[in-house]
Amino acid sequence: MLKIDCARWNQNAAILREEALKADHARSRERFMALYEICNGKNATQVGKETGRNPQTIMEWVHRYNLSGMEALRYQHTGGHPPFFPQR
């Protein structure tokens, strides 16, 4: 069974939900909300069907969170052209 180790990071499902609601980027919001749903009893297959993501992707997010915490799930632009209008 897929388990999110919130205790390791002194967090809980409510913190993940709050982070999902306030994250700057849509990809970060999606990842935190997926973890929140899993904390509330859903499995990766259910979350994948609801979000249109592959369940393996959901499981990778869980593993990344368990190893490195929230920062591992925050979206970071890693390639392509820089934005036309840089953010400040």
pTM for the full predicted model: 0.83
The pLDDT confidence band at residue 88, using thresholds 50, 70 and 90, is low
Q: What is the mean pLDDT of residues 54-77?
A: 93
Residues 6+ apart with CB under 8 A from 46: 37
Q: Is 87's pLDDT higher than 70?
A: no
18-48: per-residue pLDDT in tens? 999 999 999 999 999 999 999 999 999 999 9
The full set of domain ranges for the chain reads 7-73
**Which pLDDT does position 21 carry in this prediction?**
94
Cα–Cα distance for residue pair 7/39, rounded to 1 Å: 12
Phi-psi region of 9 (alpha: psi -120 to 50; beta: other; left: phi over 0): alpha
